[in-house]
A = this chain, B = another copy of it.
Amino acid sequence: MAEGRPEPVERLVEELAKLPGVGRRTAERLADHLVRAPKGEAMGLALAIRDVKKSVGPCSACGNFSETDPCAICADGRRDRARICVVSSVKDLLAIERAGVWRGLYHVLDGRVAPLEGVGPDDLRLGALAERVKAGGVAEVVLATDSDAEGDMTAMHAARVLKDAGVRITRLSRGLPSGSSVEFASPATLGEAMEGRKDV
């Protein structure tokens, strides 16, 4: 039913529909909102996008989003430079930073292996990871990918790329999440918690 939309609005719909999780319908709704919105509001969004693109980019070392290059984490002399935590996305990096559980550096892969979506290992920043590690000074690489099929595949490919680098390769542990009950754990989680059981 979009045949009546002026061409610039149609183009806006198409651009909005490229956003993750935004379908054609949502894009049309957002576009119509922007058409009707006060000019200040719509331009506020446009300028914010432009400013982000102008001033924020990926850190050339780790891939974190930053206004500086290298990013504040990579530039921080108190961080343990011998340890690299490999994450799929900047969101995951931020979750780990918020948790305050990592004092090493990061490497953002910019994705995870997802064959059904046509994402293969070559689409990730695995080559850059291998180069970083081969440059030396790295003792351990933690593969902090999701605990699902795609996370498993991504970790597998990362481990393969690092196989001959002579560094310790680890992965986040699986099991009961903190503060949870045995009764309501999924069968798969119970299986991993049993399999990975630890000496007391």
Q: Which 8 A-B pairs have the closest CB atoms?
A: A173-B175, A173-B196, A99-B187, A178-B188, A172-B193, A147-B176, A99-B190, A170-B197
Our pick among B168, B177, B180, B194 for the contact of A101 (Cβ within 8 Å) is: B194
A1 within 8 A of B: no
Beta-carbon nearest neighbor of A168 in chain B: B199
CA distance A175 to B172 in the complex (A): 7
Known: A147-B179, A178-B191, A180-B147. A95 touches B185 (CB 8 A): yes
A98 within 8 A of B: yes
A132 to B5 Cα, complex, angstroms: 78
With A92-B183, A95-B183 already in contact, the answer to whether A142 and B175 are too (CB < 8 A) is: no
Contact check, B172 vs A197: say whether CB atoms are below 8 A apart. Answer: yes
- B91 near A183 with CB under 8 A, answer yes
Instruction: Give the number of chain A interface residues (Cβ < 8 Å).
Output: 55
- Chain A residues 75 to 105 lying within 8 A of chain B, measured CB to CB, are 87-89, 91-92, 95-96, 98-102
Which chain B residues lie closer than 8 Å to A182 at the CB level?
87-88, 92, 95-96, 144-146, 151, 172
Cβ of A198 within 8 Å of any chain B Cβ, yes or no, is yes
A193 proximity list for chain B (CB < 8 A): 144, 172-174
In Å, the complex CA distance between A173 and B180 comes to: 12
Closest B residue to A93 by beta carbon equals: B182
Say yes or no for A135: interface residue by CB 8 A criterion: no
Contact flag A199-B169 (CB < 8 Å), given A176-B174, A191-B101: yes
Q: Give Cα A101 to B170, complex, Å.
A: 24
A186–B177 touching, CB < 8 Å:
yes
**A59 at interface, CB cutoff 8 A:** no
Say whether B180 contacts A146, CB under 8 Å: yes
Q: A13 within 8 Å of B by Cβ?
A: no
**Residues on B with beta carbons closer than 8 Å to the beta carbon of A186:** 99, 177-179
